[in-house]
Structure 1
Amino acid sequence: MEQHNADILYRQTNLAFALLDDPRARSWEWIRTHVDGYQKLDRRTIQRDVQQLHEAGVPLVKRDGGVAIRHDDYELAPVRFTPAEATVVGLAGDLGRAGQLAAFARSGWTKLAAAGAQKNLELRDPYASFDDSTILDPATLTTVLKAIRRSRSVTLDYRRSPVDEPQRRSLDPWGFVPLSGRVYLVGFDLERDAPRSFRATKVSAVELSENPIQHPPVEDLFDVVRGSLSKARTDARLLVGEDYHDQFGPAVDGVVELRDVDREALIRAVASTDVDVTVNAPEDVKQDVIALLQEAVHD
């Protein structure tokens, strides 16, 4: 059931952005051909997705035998947060960018996120509580989706970690995959000559090239992401102070031992926590936490 819901969200996200990128009405056949996730689905399923998007607040209209977004109705009034919600946003704090967050708050897509994005500061897995939608660069989404629609490759900067220099990469883009609060850009890496997924928040300076896409997308983009994530796990040892209350797991003599956790999520959680927690091992995770804190201070 969880995978089924993720598949629906994945294709509906692609559909909303594809329609937003073009003022023209798009036919059901165009959606099936050009929007990832619909290639094997019938018209009835597409119509159901359109109806669900409309009910969620996306201003869709049927015309000219197809469907389009009423762009004039897409802007929303400023989003208001309760004190609890404001606390969650504050956790991301300097890790996000106010301008980028505001850009998403102004879009109708915020309603979709709000419908299912319930945040809780007391989650059992504190290093999975960040949502890429708060810090994702809208320019990255716009340019990549335009490239996919036009079947063109892109060049982009990819920073593997806060302490690494950006790498310039060339990519045949296939789509975006939302998974566990994160968004991944999936495509064929022309330098590596293989399918790759990139955490979308680590991607910047995306430029549309004149080169047509030469590598068609694989059947399941989620498989590409899962393959990449299997290499992004780590063990870690945390040193905790007296004010610690099992946020990262049980402590024994001031030490928390973690096994097979998401490396990047752990780095962000340690950097944002307000209790006395430091990384003792591994050293590379410790240095990335320090670099992330320094970056937040400078910004």
Structure 2
Amino acid sequence: MNSSDEDILYRRTNLTFALLGAPKGRSREWIRRNVDGYQKVSEKTLQRDLRILRSIGVPLVITGDEIAVASDARDLPAIDFTPAEATAVGMAGELGKAGALGAFARSGWTKIAAAGARRDLSGPQLASYTPYNDTTRLEPTVLSTILTAVARKRRISFTYRASPTDEPQQRTMDPWGLVPEAGRVYLVGYDLDREAPRSFRAVRLSDVHTTGESAEHPAEGNLQDIVRGSLSARSQLVDAVLSVTDGRGGEFGEPVDGRVTLTNVDADWLVRAAAAAAPEVIVEKPAEIRRRVIELLEKAAS
């Protein structure tokens, strides 16, 4: 798409949003004065853009000088999502909170406002909160490969480490989906090596690729329930408060007033991770986890 095509698309998009935001329509003069891209165009260009918008399905109503979108086309029908679709939407929302994708989303609102929508984008609601969780740490190639394999029902192979110090394992899976749970993201599917449904924390996967084979095992039950059942069966989950030196939160998250609060995290993982990050990270509570961290550090020092 060349710059001229981009300008035309930008102008027509602005016009569409401006008309959607006006229950009683807009005059041609208002459009030329307020909609970005129309300040220097001719009446002929405006008329052509209106014809194009109609041809692609925008239900325009033109009455004299007033241009509007048909009122019965403004309200969209209710949307129902399957559990898998809801998971995808939820993950997209999490990914959109941070980094370049979040900036892109906010810039979209800015363009809508320029086209006539009324929303103050300069206030404190734009203060950026960047969540430090699995959705912001996932490698784009890993995410893309998994989502493509799920959509096309293709088998995948990957390397998995239960923790940074554990030996890597090669696994093969018929993937069912990615499930967010308590700030983490899990790959769920049928594990061919274990011959049973399994879940794996996605940020601990590497070398993810499709095998070229079709996935033969369809999804079983609710994916969220599979993840939660797997976590409760193989681990003790705890809530914890950590004291963190500025800039040293690492995989625990971004500290607020020098502290990180964790919910439903694996106790064994927390002990190992906190010991490895000491003294920049100190477990304040629970006392049992703090005791285990101290014991592990003393054992390593002896």
TM-score, L = length of structure 2? 0.45
| Greater relative contact order (Cα < 8 A, sep 6+) | 1
Larger radius of gyration: 2
